[in-house]
Amino acid sequence: MNVRYDAIVVGVGGMGSAAVYELARRGLRVLGLEQLGIPHDRGSSHGVNRIIRLAYWEHPAYVPLLRRAYELWRAFETLRGEQLLYITGSLDAGRTDSKTVVGSLRSCELHKLAHELLPASEVNRRFPGYRLAPDMMAVLQPEGGFVLCERAIVNYVEAARGLGADVHAREPVVSWTPSAGGVEVRTGAATYGTDHLVLTAGPWTAALVPALKAFARPERQVMLWTEPRVAPFFQLDAFPVFNLDSPEGHFYGFPNFGASGFKIGKYHHRREAVDPDRMDRDCHPEDEAVLREGIRHYFPDADGPALTMKTCLFTNSPDEHFIIDQHPALPQVTLAAGFSGHGFKFCSVVGEILAELTIDGASRHDLGLFRLSRFAI
C-alpha cells in the first residue's frame, strides 16, 4: 500500500471536483482519481455551460438546495476571482397543463420566488428570439442563468490542490474493497488506503457499484450550437435560458456566449441507453434533425449554420431524482449518482453535502428525496 488518505474521491468531474475541494477545505488529506483528463469530454460535465435555475419544475424540494448552491457558487467565484455564474433569467415554457409550467409555478409559489406567468405573445414580444406557439405559456424567473462547467471543474481542482489535495488524472480505478480500517483502492499505478471513499463516477458508477446498474443508467445525448440568423436576439441580455415542454419533445437551451453560438439540447435525445465505454460519440444528421425540429418550431431566427455538435451523457435514475447517500452496507462509502441530466447546477452544494456525509455521516440538508432506500436494492 503506497499512500493513505483521509478520503479518496473517484471521478473528478463536476460533483467529484467540488467534493475534493470541500473535503480539502475542511482539512482532510484527500486524493481525487480521474480515469480521463481534467476536464474531459467523455462524460456529463462538458460543453461550455449548464443551466442553473430556481423555479424547479422537477420538485420543490430542490429549491432550498438551489439557494445554497447559488450562495456557494458566488462565494467560490469571489475566492477564485473568476466569473462562473451568469444570470440571464430562465423561462419554463409549455402548454398550461404541462409538467414544466405546472411544476415551475408550484416551486415559485411554495418558496415565494419572484416570477411572472407570461402568455406566448408576451414572451415573443419581450424576447424576440422565441417563437412560442399561441397555446403556450412560460414562467419567467429572473435569477436563472448558467454555470461554466469546464471552468468550474478546473477551478475546483486548482483550489483543492492549493489546499493540499492530490488529484491524479488518467489513473483509472481497477477495484476497491472494504477493509477493517476503511477502504483499499487499487489503480493501474498504485494501491491506496483511505478511511472514506466517495464515488462520483457519473455514467461509470455501475462499473464501481454493480448493485446500482438498474438505478444509474447512462443515456447518449447530443448538444448543438448554431450561428443565429439574427444575432442580437440571442445575446446574453436578450435571451433567457429555457426549458421548453413541447409536442416535439422537451428542449433546453442557452443564449450565445462568446462566439459559441445558440445552444440547444433535448431531454432523452433519441432514447439511446449506452455503455459509456462503447457509445457512439460521433454526431450524425439524425442527431441534428432532432434538434433542428425544436429550433425551427420555436427559435427560427437561430436556424443558421451548425457551429459544432457534441455528445454527452445523462446517467438516469428510475425516477430521475438524484442518488446521494451512504452505501447501504458500508457507511465509509458515499455515493452520488443518477443526476439524470439536471445535476451540474448543484455541484457546489453537492460537494458540501458529500463532505458532510463523509465527515459527519449526515448532512444539514434534507436528502429525503435522494435516499437509496426508495429503490429495492
pLDDT digits (tens, 9 = 90+) for 285-320: 999 999 999 999 999 999 999 999 999 999 999 999
| Confidence (pLDDT) at 181 | 85
Please count the residues of the chain: 377
pLDDT at residue 377 greater than cutoff 70: no
| Confidence (pLDDT) at 135 | 98
- Overall average pLDDT of the 171-183 stretch: 95
The per-residue pLDDT for range 24-72, each reduced to its tens digit, is 999 999 999 999 999 999 999 999 999 999 999 999 999 999 999 999 9
Exposure b/e, 281-317, CB count within 10 A at least 16 = b: eebeeebbebbbebbebbbebbebeeeebbbbbbbbb
- Overall average pLDDT of the 11-26 stretch: 98
Q: CA–CA distance from 319 to each of 166, 182, 238, 369, 370 (Å)? A: 35, 31, 34, 10, 10
Find out whether 162 and 153 touch, Cβ atoms under 8 Å: no
Find out whether 160 and 17 touch, Cβ atoms under 8 Å: yes
Q: What residues contact residue 105 under an 8 Å CB cut-off, 6+ apart?
A: 55, 115, 117, 139
Q: What is the CA radius of gyration of the chain?
A: 20
Which domains are delineated in the chain?
A: 3-45+150-216+319-374 (3.50.50.60), 90-142+218-312 (3.30.9.10)
**Residue 345 three-state SS:** helix
- Overall average pLDDT of the 262-277 stretch: 98
The per-residue pLDDT for range 119-159, each reduced to its tens digit, is 999 999 999 999 999 999 999 999 999 999 999 999 999 99
- Overall average pLDDT of the 240-265 stretch: 97
**Residue 212 three-state SS:** helix
| Confidence (pLDDT) at 359 | 97
Q: CA–CA distance from 154 to each of 20, 134, 182, 246, 261 (Å)? A: 12, 43, 29, 35, 23
pLDDT at residue 1 greater than cutoff 60: no
Q: What percent of the chain has pLDDT over 70?
A: 99
pLDDT at residue 258 greater than cutoff 70: yes
What mean pLDDT value characterizes the chain? 97
CB-based burial of residue 353 (10 Å sphere; 0-12 exposed, 13-18 middle, 19+ buried)? buried
Report the C-alpha gap between 141 and 71 in whole angstroms: 17
Q: What is the dihedral of CA 222, 83, 336, 180, to 10 degrees?
A: 140
Task: Name the one residue in this structure whose C-alpha cell is 422565441.
Answer: 130
Q: What is the reported pTM?
A: 0.97
Report the C-alpha gap between 225 and 351 in whole angstroms: 30
Find out whether 69 and 143 touch, Cβ atoms under 8 Å: no
The per-residue pLDDT for range 196-210, each reduced to its tens digit, is 999 999 999 999 999
**Residue 152 three-state SS:** helix
